[in-house]
Amino acid sequence: MNRKALITGITGQDGAYLAQFLLSKGYKVFGSFRRASTLNLERLDYLGIREEVELIPLDLLDLGNIIRVLEKVQPDEVYNLAAQSFVAVSFDQPVATGEVTGLGAARMLEAIRIVNPKIKFYQASSSEMFGKVQSVPQNEKTPFYPRSPYAAAKLYAHWMTVNYREAYGIFACSGILFNHESPLRGLEFVTRKITYTVARIKHGLANELRLGNLKARRDWGYAPEYVEAMWLMLQQPEPDDYVIATGETHSVQEFAQEAFACVGLDWRDYVVEDPAFYRPADVELLVGDANKAREKLGWRPRTTFKELVRLMVEADLKRVEDQCGR
Ligand code: NDP
Ligand code: GDP
């Protein structure tokens, strides 16, 4: 019989790619979404898999709801990707972020413990937990120092995952993923904001790109490769935590420079540094050491920084052309 996976946050970037990947592995995929007046299935449509997944309304704020969904679906694996995932917003909505991003994971773990402790659990942890980094590069042993309500909420969820593994023997893994991007990345994140605006500038629909901290450095990888690592973690003999990263770091400025260069433009003619996009506290440098994942999971990144920027720019050029009916 097909294995069953439940993905929370299936409408997001990673949810869509993970659903596609699990379908290719023969899973029956259930995806949970939060009830809204309009359901956003844009990413599932983009990948052409909307009809292949079974969608289930599920609210991570409601433990009873989660329990009923687990009882109904009886999944073999749960991937907990739903979160208020945007760091900047978490400064304005710290409590709501804690409820979904932090306590949401605790509720899911608790529901697994109640319904069936044999369900395998993946928690979407984040390199943001390293925050004000205590060593370079960051690996599974690096101490955490969160710099935002988002990161603090993720850290709570991370330790709850570890705790439910140790206390109740649940097969619970925490993937500490560094930033990963794609044409399906939300427009508010800096990479998509850059590539989409570059495409609009190229087509004469915009004339500037306003950004915040240009010096911030991130370890940016390609999202479809990162969701494979999530699955690999749940296929190991023992549950564990893994850093997933490329090991390369680039600044926001370098990303913008590369993106403008893809369309033959000079970033300095368009980028305006705007303090409105500064954060109350920022993470200046992230660069991951994914050696453990390479050795134990056989996972390694395949797409280079330049390839990533180019594929995102090209996808946005196409989108803008389609929007303009060109
Ligand atoms: P997205 O922001 O694209 O997707 C987030 C998902 O969570 C969406 O499906 C969204 O639903 C859902 N969601 C948001 N708020 C709620 C809520 N209140 N209740 C229920 N669901 C909610 O994130 P990604 O796909 O990029 O990331 C997946 C996970 O991995 C997230 O937990 C993120 O924090 C984490 N992560 C991501 C990294 C990255 O670089 N992408 C790096 C490290 C960790 P809706 O469509 O309705 O908004
Ligand atoms: P994060 O690593 O999850 O916070 O991912 P983001 O893509 O939101 O931000 C990455 C870095 O880019 C952070 O250090 C931001 O301060 C910086 N940055 C600079 N300008 C912008 C901007 O206009 N939007 C966003 N989202 N980030 C910006």
Q: 91-115 pLDDT, tens per residue?
A: 999 999 999 999 999 999 999 999 9
Q: Is 126 in the pocket of ligand 1 (CB under 6 A)?
A: yes
Does 125 map to a domain? Answer: yes
Total domains in the fold of the chain: 2
Does residue 76 sit in the same domain as residue 114?
yes
| CA of 223, nearest ligand number | 1
Q: Is 83 in the pocket of ligand 1 (CB under 6 A)?
A: yes
**pLDDT, mean over the chain:** 97
Does 296 map to a domain? Answer: no
Does 20 map to a domain? Answer: yes
What is the whole-number distance in angstroms between the Cα of residue 10 and the centre of ligand 1? 8
Q: Is 60 in the pocket of ligand 1 (CB under 6 A)?
A: yes
Task: Please give the Cα distance from 244 to 247 (Å, whole number).
Answer: 9
Does residue 158 sit in the same domain as residue 255?
no
pLDDT score for 326: 62
Task: Please give the Cα distance from 189 to 181 (Å, whole number).
Answer: 9
Does residue 195 sit in the same domain as residue 214?
yes
Q: Are the C-beta atoms of 21 and 230 separated by less than 8 Å?
A: no
Residue 182 falls in the annotated catalytic set: no
CATH at 208: 3.90.25.10
Residue of minimum CA distance from atom 8 in ligand 2? 189
- Which residues does residue 241 pair with via DSSP β-bridges, in sequence order? 174
Residue 281 has pLDDT above 90, yes or no: yes
Does 150 map to a domain? Answer: yes
Does 292 map to a domain? Answer: no
Does residue 202 sit in the same domain as residue 82?
no
Does 77 map to a domain? Answer: yes
Residue 110 falls in the annotated catalytic set: no
Does 211 map to a domain? Answer: yes
Residue 1 has pLDDT above 90, yes or no: no
pLDDT digits (tens, 9 = 90+) for 194-224: 999 999 999 999 999 999 999 999 999 999 9
Q: Is 176 in the pocket of ligand 1 (CB under 6 A)?
A: no
Neighbours of 169 (CB within 10 A): 12
Does residue 55 sit in the same domain as residue 28?
yes
Which residues does 214 contact at the CB level (< 8 Å), separation at least 6? Answer: 251, 252, 253, 256, 271, 273
| CA of 227, nearest ligand number | 1
Residue 125 falls in the annotated catalytic set: no
Q: What is the CA radius of gyration of the chain?
A: 19
Does residue 275 sit in the same domain as residue 234?
no
Band of pLDDT at residue 82, cut at 50, 70 and 90: very high
Which pTM value belongs to this model?
Answer: 0.98
Does residue 235 sit in the same domain as residue 320?
no
Does residue 55 sit in the same domain as residue 161?
yes
Q: Is 190 in the pocket of ligand 2 (CB under 6 A)?
A: yes
- Determine the structural domain holding residue 9 and report its residue range: 4-180+220-244
